[in-house]
A and B are shown apart, each in its own frame.
Chain A
Amino acid sequence: MIAQDEKIGVYVCHCGTNISGTVDVSAVAEYARTLPGVAIVREYKYMCSEPGQDLIRKDIEELNLTRVVVSSCSPLMHEVTFRKACNDAGLNGFLFQMSNIREQCSWVHDDRERATAKAKQLLAAAVLRVGQQVAMEERIVPVRPETLVIGAGIAGIEAAVRLADAGRKVYLVERLPSIGGHMAQFDKTFPTLDCAACILTPKMVSVGQHPNIELLTYSEVEAITGYVGNFRVRVRRRATSIDPTKCVGCGLCWEKCAVKKVPSEFDAGMSMRTAIYVPFAQAVPNKPVIDREHCLHFTRGKCGICQKTCPADAIDFDIQDEILDLEVGAIIVATGFTLFDAGELARYGYGRLDNVLTALQFERLSHASGPTGGEILTKSGERPGAVAILHCIGSRDENHLKYCSRVCCMYSLKFAHLVREKTHAEVYNFYIDMRAFGKGYEEFYRRVMSEGVHFIRGKAAEVSTVAETPEEEGKLIVVGEDTLLGVTRRIPVDMVILASGMRPAEGTEKLARILSLGCTRDGFYLEKHVKLAPVDSPSDGIFLAGACTGPKDIPDAVAQGAAAAAGALSLIDKGRVIIEPITSEINPEVCAGCQLCIMTCPYTAIHFDSERNVSVITEELCKGCGTCVAGCPSGAARQKSYEDSQIYAEIEGVLA
């Protein structure tokens, strides 16, 4: 029921042709006039535009509207815009309701008649609902000045340094023993060919020394509670078994370590490391950790040679994992990517044939501090006479990664250049399309072409070892169609490099659950808006940077790290934040004290008042998810703006 004296303004948006292309907007507007309490109905090309908002403001002032409904796009898009327009004209923004006839109607239907009928139903639901809404006040809460950055690859490092340089405290959490991420593994970087270490190491050092950065390596985020401006973070620091205050990083321990055959993660399995180790020479912090899965002391209860050797007495096998509880105002997620497992595509022979390498393995092979000291050699230690680089391994493939991994074309060109430069081998790049879109990239492509690299336009179909001619004997034979010639070619080579695509880092899904973030179908984090808010997550106060939202090259990852820092800074510097008043409340008169709500609340926002024998909600922590409302057996828990009367009114509208 809508009260007699209500004056509801209804505005139906064309959204250019986005809505009007499928929905008969005039018919919807005409229909709105028949709904109860409606005082004025207007349709307009773009309601979100300034003139569109002016319509609302003017009507509120001149016609004394008591409630407003806009039928347009998703509330995610413009609810804030229209709420603000109402507030500007003196109408409480919570007396406004939106009906989504774009994403949930015009965009997903093509039958004009039925889409129009649906738009009418959605509008009726909004009108009936708005009649039941009540005015509410937004809450203002203070914002803590610290930021948590998760992941210390190039994006996370950039974000942390920017914030720290602005004088803000940063907790930088990294799962591995050292910061640096994938970039630390790279040899040279496209298109300028400056060495990755030369440009990254200074940044890593400054992270390690920065007074405003608290570095938490070998650590993982386990839980996060709270809300924008006031997050509480639980971090597990894995036991390194080293006392960092004593260790000077002299290296005696790993020289003496009895376990010498652990495949090095940093060298992508191309070399072996010890059980007590620093992953690479420039690691930050430059102190070892003990890998307890391989250390004899932990696996068999013997050895301990490192402890005996250590001149600083820094090794302590009894160190336990440490739990840290941090409080921060903002969070930046920069968890990066992992390489597509080329072993999934048996036809290319990775893991089955020698000298078939992944991109990361080649980076290490070509790296001056890699397993061969930067010489490009086959497994038998010889210089290759011919090398094939296969683009799009796993990427652009219906059965694996549907998307283009964006960086592979460019790093494949870089590989081609490095192989030519270092070995003078013949290089064959099998590509589908050459994607050289960035600054200086096309020029780099031209340069590599001029260096005599063979480009074969066609995806390699397989790497064979079955020779058909004497020249093929003992070689890896790459078979692929040269689509420009319409000829299947068989190229015998000594080394094959697989340009594997990028997929979300291990643990992305788990962290998504901890942070309540959404993921796309590909498993990467979902941005608030892919174009206009690429470093914002849909959750206020949580920002996203780098390859965790999709494949990125170094310039893009750095840009996003800086942008996310700016986002966090603008939140922190304001010092306070407005949060939605939509929370739950528990009526103490009705509450029976069963505490079911406390058990089900995902945000630990409810506690028990044993004196009064009732459950009590801490408003700041409540996110208004409604779980307690659904669970409460006595009906004591209610959610503002989702009252039964409002929901029923909405349902009635849909069924109208």
Chain B
Amino acid sequence: MSTTVNSNAGASASASTSTRGSDGRVFSYYPGCSQMAMNRAYDVSTRSVAARLGLELVELEDWNCCGATAYVAIREEQAFVLSARNLALAEQAGRPLVTACSGCFVVLNKANKYMAEDPELRSDITRALAAGSMRYRGTVAVRHFLDVVVNDVGEETVRAQVTRPLTGLKVAAYHGCQFSRPFGERADPEFPDTMDRLVNWLGGETVPFALKAKCCGGLMMTTQPDVGRALTGKILKAAKEAGADCVITCCPLCQFNLEGFQRRVGAAVGCDCALPVLYFTQLMGHAFGLDARALALGDSLTPVAELLHREAVHS
């Protein structure tokens, strides 16, 4: 853990020094609000596979909302304060911050970057944090759990855990928009292949999927349902046409949009959109031999358990 940085100027340079925890295996884990409610399956399955991979996820003590899209839309600096409080907590804990939610990832990562680059913003936020007796020096690295699994843990360790290879399973790896955009630090911003590599290690195959990083419509599924359904419909339709048995996601909002409205979405785009949708962590956990409970498969609105059961019988 870096202890040398005491000026804000060093913030961006030092960020890289704590990219990994002391042994590269311990992270502060930021679940995100959605994983406490509608998408708790993502949280459950993330913790389960992390344990299998020897990653220690220590839940960030008393974390708060990241300052998500809906918040930024009304109040910007306040949203940065929300992110900064989490970053400060992570800095106190002395570990890099990992989240599995793409929305939280972008918001936290962006706030971290902008604070490092913009001295005025940094001093405003520093003052606000001080009002709550907190401080952030800019030493925390923000990571997406998918990125950690594929780029840090890596092929060898992942393959070693596979007890139920996904032989013959055709997967549409839907990365969504906020995993690799806007910064594209760890994957191509438009054609990320992070989950494709992972599925391959798990013994399955991914179908060519042109819409893998297109937008699912986000909150618009609720606020502007026509727009939301059209976007989600395109994705499900393309996945089906590509011959996928299922879609995997790495974002709770994508997951919910893709699984929750399939009938109405199908009506909107004029085709059958029924397709199992699950988190990459659930698929990975299944390949690792974890049971349905450890992966909260029962939470699914689509026949995920049936898909994996059938698949397990096949192999």
Taking Cβ atoms with an 8 Å cutoff, the residues of A that contact B are 346-347, 352, 464-466, 468
Contact = CB atoms under 8 A, between A and B. Distances in A.
Contact of A346 (B188, B211, B234, B238): B188
A466 B238 contact: yes
B110 to A, nearest CB: 18
Interface in B170-189: 188
B234 A466 contact: yes
B191 A464 contact: no
A464 B210 contact: yes
Is the interface on chain B under 10, 10 to 19, 20 to 34, or 35 or more residues? Answer: under 10
A523 B210 CA distance: 34
A347, A352, A465, A466 interface centre (most CB from chain B within 10 Å): A466
Contacts of B272: none
Contact of B190 (A347, A465, A466, A468): A347
Contacts of A465: 210
B contacts with A: majority SS: loop
B191 A466 contact: no
12 contacts: A346-B188, A346-B190, A346-B191, A347-B190, A347-B191, A464-B210, A465-B210, A466-B210, A466-B211, A466-B234, A466-B238, A468-B234
B273 to A, nearest CB: 14
A454 B4 CA distance: 62
Interface string B267-284: 000000000000000000
9 closest residue pairs by CB, A with B: A346-B191, A466-B210, A466-B238, A346-B190, A347-B190, A465-B210, A346-B188, A466-B211, A464-B210
A448 B238 CA distance: 38
B120 to A, nearest CB: 21
Contacts, number: 13
Contacts of B238: 466
A466 B212 CA distance: 12
Contacts of A464: 210
Contacts of A468: 234
B246 to A, nearest CB: 19
A539 B209 CA distance: 54
Contacts of B234: 466, 468
Contacts of A346: 188, 190-191
Given A347-B191, A464-B210, A466-B238, 4 more contacts: A347-B190, A465-B210, A466-B211, A468-B234
Nearest to B191: A346
Contacts of A466: 210-211, 234, 238
A34 B238 CA distance: 81
A313 B39 CA distance: 76
Nearest to B269: A468
Nearest to A465: B210
Interface in B207-251: 210-211, 234, 238
Nearest to A344: B188
B117 to A, nearest CB: 17
B196 to A, nearest CB: 13
Question: Of residues B190, B191, B210, B238, which shows the largest number of chain A Cβ atoms within 10 Å of its Cβ?
Answer: B210
Nearest to B192: A346
B183 to A, nearest CB: 12
Interface in B188-210: 188, 190-191, 210
A468 B191 CA distance: 20
A19 B210 CA distance: 57
B42 to A, nearest CB: 27
A42 B243 CA distance: 84
Nearest to B211: A466
Nearest to A467: B241
A347 B234 CA distance: 18
A524 B234 CA distance: 44
Nearest to A347: B190
Nearest to B234: A466
A352 B234 CA distance: 21
A204 to B, nearest CB: 42
Contacts of B211: 466
A347 B213 CA distance: 11
A26 B308 CA distance: 86
Contacts of B191: 346-347, 352
A437 B104 CA distance: 50
A352 B188 CA distance: 14
A466 B211 CA distance: 8
A503 B191 CA distance: 25
A576 B190 CA distance: 60
A189 to B, nearest CB: 35
Contacts of A347: 190-191
A464 B208 CA distance: 13
A468 to B, nearest CB: 8
A542 to B, nearest CB: 40
A238 B195 CA distance: 45
Contacts of A352: 191
Contacts of B188: 346
A352 B190 CA distance: 13
A347 B211 CA distance: 11
B208 to A, nearest CB: 9
A114 B238 CA distance: 63
A464 B209 CA distance: 11
A398 to B, nearest CB: 13
Contacts of B210: 464-466
A162 B49 CA distance: 72
Contacts of B190: 346-347
Interface in B68-94: none
A18 to B, nearest CB: 33
A468 B211 CA distance: 13
B279 to A, nearest CB: 24
Nearest to A464: B210
A464 B234 CA distance: 13
A466 B241 CA distance: 9
A464 B188 CA distance: 17
